[in-house]
Structure 1
Amino acid sequence: MLSQKLDRLQKLFAEMNQALIAYSGGIDSTLVAKIAHDVLGDRALAVTAESPSLLPEDLEDARIQAAEIGIRHEVVRTHELENPNYASNPVNRCYFCKSELHDTLKPLALKWGYPYVVDGVNADDLSDYRPGIQAAKERGVRSPLAEVGVTKLEVRELAKQLGLPWWDKPAQPCLSSRFPYGEEITIHKLQRVGRAERYLRTLGLKNLRVRSEADTARIELPPEQIKEFVLTTDLPTLVNEFQSYGFVYVTLDLEGYRSGKLNQVLQLTH
C-alpha cells in the first residue's frame, strides 16, 4: 500500500516535469523535496521563507537537509508581520501567512520557469482547522501528499524507508501558533518564545511547546514526561532563564502537550 503511494507520488512529479517546493524543513516538506529531487533532479527547487516566525535554527536545519538531499535550495524573505490582518492574530491568521508565502513564491516560480508550486500538506492536515490550506488552494498550489492520501504516520514511514535521518523529527509549526487568538504578535514575542523552546531543547526535551499568553509562558510536555521533568529540572534556573527572555510568569500545563491545543477554543465557541 505504501509502495503504491510512493509510486503515485513519483508519477505525479514526473508529470509535472518541473516543480518549486514550499520547503520549511519540517518532515512533510522534506519528504516532498526528497521525492521531487529523486524524480526531477535539477528541475526541482526547494524554497524556504525566512521570517521572524521561523527559528534561525530551523532555517539552518532546512539548509543542511536540502544539502544532504541534494536539491537546489533558495531562501526568500516574507513579511507577514507587516500585515495587520496577520499581526492581530485572528482565528484565520494562517490564511494571511500562507497568502504572503504563496504571493511571494508564485511570481518567483513563474520567473524561474516552474509551472507548479507544491507544499507539504498531508492527508491528516485536511481534517484539522487549517485556513492556510485555503489560501494555498486559491493560488493554485498543489499538495502531493494530500492528493495521494499520505497520512502523517505514513510520511514518517516513507521518510525512514527513503533513508532520511530526520524521519522522526518532531513537528515544529511556526512560532505564531504559540499565541492565543486575538493576542497581537510581535517580533519580540516571537523571539522570546523561540529562545524559551531552544532552552528546553538543550535540556534534552524534544516534543514540547511554550505557549505565550501576555507575560506568562506555559510549558507543554508529553504527559508521561511531566513528573520526571518536575523532579529532575532545576526549576529556579529555568524560571530565571525564561524571565531573562521577558516572561514574568512560568507555568507547566498539567494536561500535557497536544498538537493544535489552541484550536480547542474554536470548538468551545461553536
Structure 2
Amino acid sequence: MEKEKEARLFALLRPYGSVAVALSGGVDSAVLLMAAVRALGAAKVAAVTAVSELLADAERADAKRCAELAGVPLTLLPADDLGSPDVVRNDERRCYYCKKRRFEMLVLWAKERGFPCVLDGTNADDADDYRPGLAAMEELAPFVVSPLAKAQWTKRDIREAAKAWGIPVWSKPSAACLASRIEYGVALTKERLQAVETAENTLRRFICGQLRVRHHGKLARIEIEPREFDVFLQHRAEIEAAVRAAGFNYVTLDLRGYRMGSQNESLAFS
C-alpha cells in the first residue's frame, strides 16, 4: 500500500470529525471503516448496515466481523427494499432507486445522531461499469461522501490495505447485492432472491473464486471462472440437482465465464 495514498485518504477523512460508514460486508466498505477509525478514532465512527432481502446472510455476517475488528458497534437498519415499487420493478434504474432510498435513510439516521455525513465505499475503479447508483450518491452530496474514490484508491489499493491491516475479508471476491443477479424486467421477490442465494451457497461448496447465479425466470445461468470449469463438470449432477431444488427448472453454465455486470449486456447501450 502506497503511503502517499494512505496519507491522502486520512487527510480527506480528518476534517469530518466524526462519520457514519455504510458497511456492506465487502472489502471496500470494510477498508473504509478501518481507515476512518485510524484517522478519527473508534469513538468518532459508527458502522451502519441496511438490511433487507437483497443482502445475503453471509454479507451481514462479514459486516459484523469487520465492525468488531474495527472496534465499532454495528447498527442494522431495516431497509424494506421490496416495499418500493421502483425497486421491485427491476428495470435498468433499479440500483439508482435502491441506493437513493437506502442512503436517504442512512443520512437521516446519521443526522439524528450528530454525524455530518455517511461514507460510501465506492472506489476509483467503479466508474468502469454501468452503476446508476452512483448518480444517487452524487445527488445526496455533501451528506454522502465516497472518500476512496476521491483519494483515487483502486480495487488493488483496497485489497493491499485490507491485507496489511488484517481485515478478514481482504481476499473475498467482490459481490453486489442479490438483486444484481436477476434479469432486468423480472420482478424482485423474496422467493427469487432466496433462490439465487441458496444456489450460490451450493456452488461455493465446490467452486473457488468469483461466481454468480444469474436468474432468468425459470433458468439459472451460472458464471464461474473458466479455470473452475473442470471442477464444475466433475460435480455437475450434484450442482444441477441443488440448483434445481433452489427453484429453477433449467441450469446452464455460461461458457464465457464470470464477468462483472453481465446482466448489463442486455441493455441497449451495451
Residue 253 of structure 1: aligned partner? 254
Post-superposition offset of 1:227: 2.6
How far did residue 79 of structure 1 move?
1.5
Amino acid corresponding to residue 225 of structure 2 in structure 1: P
The Cα shift of 1:87 comes to 0.7
Q: Is the Cα contact below 8 Å between 1:79 and 1:100 reproduced in 2? A: no
The answer to whether the 8 Å contact 1:197/1:210 transfers is yes
Q: What amino acid sits opposite 1:200 in the alignment?
A: L
**Structure 2 equivalent of residue 67 of structure 1:** 68
In structure 1, the residue matched to 2:164 is: 161
Counterpart of 1:144 (choices 133, 143, 147) is: 147
Structure-2 separation of matches of 1:134 and 1:96: 10
SS in 2 for 1:54: coil
CA distance in structure 2 between the aligned counterparts of 1:217 and 1:143, rounded to whole angstroms: 34
Which residue pairs with 2:232 in the alignment? 229
Q: Does the 8 Å CA contact 2:53/2:81 hold for their aligned counterparts?
A: no
| More deviation, 63-72/188-197 | 63-72
User: Structure 1: 5+ residue runs without aligned partners?
Assistant: none
Q: Which residue of 2 aligns with 1:37?
A: 37
Q: Secondary structure at the match of 1:48?
A: strand
Contact 2:26-2:172 at 8 Å conserved across structures:
yes
How many equivalent pairs are there? 267
Q: Which amino acid aligns with 2:249?
A: V
* Deviates most, 157-166 or 174-183: 157-166
Measured in 2, the distance between the counterparts of 1:64 and 1:161 equals 17
Counterparts of 1:237 and 1:228, CA distance in 2: 12
Q: Is the CA contact (8 Å cut-off) linking 1:22 and 1:118 kept in structure 2?
A: yes
The match for 1:242 is 243
- The superposition leaves residues 104-145 of structure 1 with CA deviations (integer Å, 9 ceiling, x where unpaired) of 101111101100111000001123211111112211210000
With 88-97 and 64-73 compared, the bigger mean Cα shift is at: 64-73
After the TM superposition, which residues 4-19 of structure 1 pair with which residues of structure 2 at under 5 Å, given as runs?
4-19=4-19
Corresponding residue SS for 1:255: coil
Q: Displacement, 1:167?
A: 1.2
Q: Cα deviation per residue 1:49-90 (whole Å; 9 max; x = unaligned)?
A: 111011112101211121122122111010221111111111
Which TM-score applies when normalising by structure 1?
A: 0.95
Computed over aligned residues only, the root mean square deviation of the Cα atoms, in angstroms, reads 1.4
1:174-228 deviation line (CA, Å, top 9, x unaligned): 0000012111111100001001001111225331000010111111110121133
Separation in structure 1 between the aligned mates of residue 131 and residue 229 of structure 2, nearest angstrom: 29
